Amino acid sequence: MFKLLKLLSFIAMMTASVVAQEVAQSPLIPEQVTSAPVAAPVPVTVKVAMRTELGTLVLEIEKERAPITAANFLRYVDQKRFDGITFYRAVKIGDTGEYGFAQAGVKGDPKRVLKPIAHEPTTATGLSHVSGAISMARLAPGSATAEFFMVLGDLKAMDANPQASGDNLGYAVFGKIIEGMEVLRAIIEQPRSPTAGQGVMKGQMLAKEIKILTVRRVE
């Protein structure tokens, strides 16, 4: 009986030793292998509702990634400078209706316009002229004030392109449409005047401008 107990004790010790070796030689414990990576923080945005004659566009303004341009746009919103302005230009690219853009703004009205802002190229913000993007119209970089446009279809040729010659800084994207793309499509499909507009804008001006009734932050 004593020999049997001694043999069982020896077997238990050997088993424990083998298990310890296997644990020591095993790879990372399951918790280490399967632990999910920490998600990157979501950039801060502000929602804005733009109510037009043809329906409402809900915008997500990139307050963190495009701080200068977003702050400028929100200043016009908060001071109600966009109330009553119009979409006055619409460009339809190609015959399929998949691409185009519509432009709105204060058209230089001295009672509404604020000082120009510094240009934020897409190479700095990480944003792009994808379908639904809202971006600033401008002449020279740093001349943008209150004229903006919304894009239908991906028009990434409007992004900054450091490899291009001349003015290669593109336009400053500062948000996107998150509701109401059908409103943008309807604006782009509106009839255009064959004579209104100057230079490249001739034939791109709407025959009947689309009024923007109110622009407000969405709480």
pLDDT tens readout for residues 23-48: 344 444 445 555 667 777 889 999 99
Which one of 1.10.1060.10, 2.40.100.10, 3.40.50.2000, 3.10.129.10 gives the CATH number of domain 46-217?
Answer: 2.40.100.10
pLDDT of 7: 37
pLDDT of 33: 53
| Cβ proximity of 118 and 137 under 8 Å | no
Q: Residue ranges of the domains in the chain? A: 46-217
Q: Which residues of the chain have pLDDT under 70?
A: 1-36
| Cβ proximity of 36 and 44 under 8 Å | no
The number of CA neighbours under 13 Å toward the Cβ of 165 is: 0
pLDDT of 27: 44
pLDDT of 94: 84
pLDDT of 178: 98
